[in-house]
Amino acid sequence: MAANSTLADVVEDHALGRVPDSQRKSGWALSWMAMGIATTLVQLLIGSYVAAVAGMGWAITADVLVALFGGTLGWMVALISRQEGLSSTVTSRFYGLGARGSIIASVIFGFMILGFLALENSLLYYGTLFAFGWHNTLALRIVIFGILTIGWILLTTFGVNLVLKVASYLMVAFLILLAYMFYRSGFAGGLSFVTIFTHGALIPGLGGAGQRFADALVTLAGSAGALALCDADYARYARRPKDVIIMAYAGSFMMDVVIMIAGAVIVFGGMGPAVHYLIAHHMATSATASKAANALASNDTGAFFIILSAVFGFILMYAAQIKAQVLNTYSGSLALTNLFDALGKWRPGRFWMVILGNVVALLMAAGGILGLINSWLNILGVMTTAFAAVMIADYYIVRKRTLADHAQVESVNVAGVTSVVIAVLLAVVLESTHVFPLGFLTSLIAVLVIYPILRTTVLKPGTMTGTVGAELALQEVEG
C-alpha cells in the first residue's frame, strides 16, 4: 500500500499542491527543462523565417532583444511560482485571476502548450516521411502519430524527475548534433559563414526595414511568452530565488539566440544541398526544385537535417523533439488539471490529463495547425504576455511582494480578468489598424497600468465576486 501511495504521489507530481522544500532543485538542473522545451523543430523553423523576413543582421538584433525580454518576463513570473511552490495556472488563483478566474489562465496556457505539442508532432511526422521517402497516407498518420502519442504519455506520466532526466540527456545529445549540423551547413552548401551571416531579407513584399523588424519581434515574442509560463511551472521546484534567474535566462537565450541563429544558418546554408537532393531523389525537377526547397523551409525543418547529415540528421530531429514533447505534455497536463478542478472540482488525476492533452493535440494537428503558425504565434504572444503581466502586476505592484492568504480566495479577481480582456482587445485593435504593431508589448504595458488602477479603486478585492475556501484554493489531486 505504501508503495502504491508513493507511485500515486509521483504520478500526481503535486499538480494542485505545493512542492515540498525537500524536493527542490538547483537552477542549473531546472535549466535543462527550460532549454529542452526551447530547442525544437518549431523554434528552428521560426529562426529561419525571422532571418528571411528581416535579414540576418536585424534578425540577430531581434533575437537578443526578445531573449532579454523573455528572460526577464519568465524570471518575474517564475519567482512568484517559486515562492508559492505551485504551477503557473494554480498560482494565478492567488495572483491576478482568482480561483475560478484561473480558468482563463488554463485555457490560454493549455491552448498554447498543446498547440506546440501538435505543431511539433506534425513537423516530426513530415520529417519522418521525408527521411524514408514515404507518402502521406491515413494509415501512416494513424501509426506514426499513435506511436508518438504513446511515447509522450509514458515518458510524462511519472513526474518531474523522469522528465528532467529525459530533457538533460537528450539536450546534451542535441547540442552536439546541432553543432555538427551548424558546421555542415556552412560547408555543404558552398557558402561561407560570412555570406550566411550577412544576407538580407529574402521574402519580398513585406514592407520596409522597420516593418520587417517589427514582424520579427512579434514572431519571436509569441514563443517568449510561452516559455515564461513554462518557467513558472518548473520554478515551483526551485530552491532559491537565484535558481529562478539561472533557469529563466538560460532557457530564453537558448531559444531566442542559439536556436534562432542555428535555424537561420541551417536553412539558408542548406538551401543549395536541398535543391540537389530533391532533384537527385526525383522529388522535383530542375525547374521546380527551388520552389520545393522553399516549401520544405516553410513546413519541414527536419528535412534539412536529413539532407545535410542523413542518419545523424534523423537522430538530431528526434533528439530535439522527444525532450520537447515530453515537456509540452507535462505542462499541458498541469494546465488541464487546474482547468477541470476550477471548473467543477473534477479531479481524475494528472495521468488522465496527460492522455487528454495528447488527444487535444492530435485534434489540433488534424485541423492543420502547422499552416496557421504565423498568425497563431502573433495572438499567442499577446495572450500569454497579458496573462504573465497580470500576475506580475498583482504580486509586485499591488501586493508589494506580500504572499497571498490561501484561507479565503476570491472566486474571480474581476480587476484581473477585466485588465486581461481590455489589454488583449487593445493590442489586437492597434495591430489591425497599423497604429502599433507590437501587440505583445501593448498587452504587457496595458495590464501593468490598468490592473493596479482597477484593483485599488473601482474593482477592489471582493467587488462583484465571492470567495472560496482552501478546499478549492489549494488541494492535492487524488485518484
Q: Is 411 exposed, middle or buried (0-12, 13-18, 19+ CB in 10 A)?
A: middle
Report the alpha-carbon distance of residue 281 to residue 266 in Å, rounded.
20
pLDDT value at 159 more than 80: no
pLDDT value at 298 more than 80: no
* 436 SS3 class: coil
- Within 10 Å of residue 307's Cβ, how many Cβ atoms? 27
Question: What is the structure's pLDDT at 1?
Answer: 36
- One-letter amino acid identity for 351? F
Model confidence at 270, pLDDT cuts 50, 70, 90, reads confident
Angle ∠(363,369,375) on CA atoms, nearest 5: 145
Asked whether 336 and 132 are in contact (CB, 8 A), the reply is: no
- Within 10 Å of residue 428's Cβ, how many Cβ atoms? 17
Cell representation of residue 231: 518557467
> Residue 384: which of 137, 42, 138, 92 has the closest Cα?
92
Say what percent of the chain tops pLDDT 90.
Answer: 38
pLDDT value at 90 more than 80: yes
Model confidence at 477, pLDDT cuts 50, 70, 90, reads very low
Can you tell me the mean pLDDT for 230-242?
93
pTM of the model: 0.87
Model confidence at 113, pLDDT cuts 50, 70, 90, reads confident
Asked whether 196 and 279 are in contact (CB, 8 A), the reply is: no
| Cα–Cα separations (whole angstroms), residue 34 to 37, 134, 324, 383, 414 | 6, 34, 10, 20, 32
Model confidence at 370, pLDDT cuts 50, 70, 90, reads low
* 187 SS3 class: coil
> Residue 383: which of 73, 109, 114, 113 has the closest Cα?
109
What digits encode the pLDDT tens for the residues 427-441? 999 998 989 989 999
Asked whether 387 and 107 are in contact (CB, 8 A), the reply is: no
pLDDT value at 367 more than 90: no
pLDDT value at 347 more than 90: no
Asked whether 263 and 47 are in contact (CB, 8 A), the reply is: yes
* 178 SS3 class: helix
Question: What is the structure's pLDDT at 276?
Answer: 87
Model confidence at 10, pLDDT cuts 50, 70, 90, reads low
Asked whether 39 and 326 are in contact (CB, 8 A), the reply is: no
Cell representation of residue 448: 501593468
Asked whether 105 and 336 are in contact (CB, 8 A), the reply is: no
Report the alpha-carbon distance of residue 46 to residue 301 in Å, rounded.
10
Q: Select the CATH number that applies to the domain covering 23-372 from these four: 1.10.4160.10, 1.10.287.1260, 3.40.1180.10, 1.10.30.50.
A: 1.10.4160.10
Domain boundaries, the chain: 23-372
Cell representation of residue 333: 497536463
Can you tell me the mean pLDDT for 309-317?
79
Report the alpha-carbon distance of residue 447 to residue 387 in Å, rounded.
9
